[in-house]
Copies of this chain bind each other. A is one copy, B any other.
Amino acid sequence: MAATIQDVARAAGVSVGTVSRAMNNYPDISAKTRERILKVAEELKYRPNLVAKSLSSKHSRDIALILSGFLEDAMFNDFETMLMKGCYQFAFERGLDISMYVINSRTQEEKSYEQLCYEHNIAGGIIFGIKSTDPYFTSLAESKNPCVTIDVEVSGENVSSVTNDHMAAFDELTQYLIDQGHRRIALVCGRKNATVTAQRMDGAMRALERNGLKPPADSVIYTNFLKEEATEGVTGFLKEHQDKGVTAFLCMSDLLAIGTVEALKEAGCRVPDDYSVVGYDGLYVTEYTDPRLTTVDQNIKDKGYEAAHLLFDMIEGRRSAQRLILPHKLEIRDSVKRLEI
């Protein structure tokens, strides 16, 4: 049986209050009493029961990583793994604990964010994957527990967000395609009313318009960010519009780009010789696909790290709610052909 604070108190000949003071580095305790208690605790291999601790103190430093839709991705998703690594990296450096919770649109309805925090005595959470139609989207604002959302902006006193300048990034990516001589560019988009879809669309449009271009008619394909939908959409597009003269596919995620390449290969086309394709995200897999995919690296691991950092600072009252925009980087690889004009 594990030693409790009582056991330590008894063994050291002091009261439990004193042991608590010693263990938590309170100032109002004599150095030698502390020494002695710490030694006894060491000998007894005493470990404070964190559950009792947080119940008693009414607050914890535990933070949660809350993923919505994690189980719905049938495909592997590097994105979430990278995010986790970033979060856990931060927690690990600070000696904090992170618990990970998996939710979906239905469970959000059953239990609010605040209730989740209350149940588990969590100080705050990093939230990824919520849609604008999800209950959390509005209810987060009412929570007294701080939170940090990834890539979506939710207004609220205690809610921060960490994101990239998706518009600028997509502008760059589009401009790159244009610089390589592409004029007729098809768009493979994400969910129609997702924030990131809108932002990336704006970036693409801005670049196109600046160059006096616009997407050819019927060449904007919408998906729910699923690879299979990209494959299907592009296959359909090729059947009906092969004559439209499209030379490149601008995809809103790497997964969609991979799906696009599959459709193209299936139809007997070569990438990038017949069609150029670019993705977005910077998943590791894009270095191993054939061809290696030109994409925008969001530096997802950093996003996780900075989100955890920001959340922690909010919990400790050192930083207030804010919008953090992290840098991105255009990764030029082999999936775009330079056209002679």
**Chain A 276-298 residues near chain B, CB threshold 8 A:** 283-285, 288-291
Chain B minimum-CB-distance residue to A290? B290
The CA-CA distance from A290 to B88 in the complex, in Å, is: 32
| Per-residue B-contact encoding for A70-106, CB less than 8 Å = 1, 0 else | 1100011110111001001101100001111110000
Q: List the B side residues contacting A48 at CB < 8 Å.
A: 119
Q: List the B side residues contacting A47 at CB < 8 Å.
A: 111, 115, 118-119
Q: How far is the CB of A16 from chain B (nearest CB, A)?
A: 16
| Per-residue B-contact encoding for A280-319, CB less than 8 Å = 1, 0 else | 0001110011110000000000000000000000000000
User: Interface with B: A50-58, A134-142, A160-168, A236-244, which one?
Assistant: A50-58
A120 CB–B CB distance under 8 Å:
yes
A264 CB–B CB distance under 8 Å:
no
Q: How far is the CB of A192 from chain B (nearest CB, A)?
A: 27
The CA-CA distance from A111 to B102 in the complex, in Å, is: 27
The CA-CA distance from A99 to B48 in the complex, in Å, is: 19
Q: Within the oligomer, what is the number of copies of this chain?
A: 2
Given contacts A2-B115, A121-B49, contact A284 B88 (CB under 8 A): no
Chain B minimum-CB-distance residue to A46? B115
The CA-CA distance from A55 to B85 in the complex, in Å, is: 30
For A75, A89, A283, A285, the residue with the greatest tally of chain B CB atoms inside 10 Å of its CB is A285
Q: How far is the CB of A69 from chain B (nearest CB, A)?
A: 12
A270 CB–B CB distance under 8 Å:
no
A151 CB–B CB distance under 8 Å:
no
Q: How far is the CB of A195 from chain B (nearest CB, A)?
A: 24
A114 CB–B CB distance under 8 Å:
yes
Q: List the B side residues contacting A97 at CB < 8 Å.
A: 101, 120
The CA-CA distance from A48 to B81 in the complex, in Å, is: 31
Q: List the B side residues contacting A66 at CB < 8 Å.
A: none
Q: List the B side residues contacting A88 at CB < 8 Å.
A: 70-71, 102
The CA-CA distance from A83 to B78 in the complex, in Å, is: 13
A159 CB–B CB distance under 8 Å:
no
The CA-CA distance from A101 to B91 in the complex, in Å, is: 10
A45 CB–B CB distance under 8 Å:
yes
A234 CB–B CB distance under 8 Å:
no
Given contacts A47-B111, A51-B51, 12 further A-B contacts (CB under 8 A): A51-B120, A51-B121, A70-B85, A71-B85, A71-B92, A76-B81, A76-B284, A76-B285, A81-B81, A97-B120, A98-B100, A289-B289
State the A residues within 8 Å of B (CB): 2, 45, 47-52, 54-55, 70-71, 75-78, 80-82, 85, 88-89, 91-92, 97-102, 111, 114-115, 118-121, 258, 283-285, 288-291
Query: Nearest 9 pairs between A and B by C-beta?
Result: A290-B290, A99-B99, A76-B284, A51-B121, A100-B100, A50-B119, A2-B118, A47-B115, A81-B81
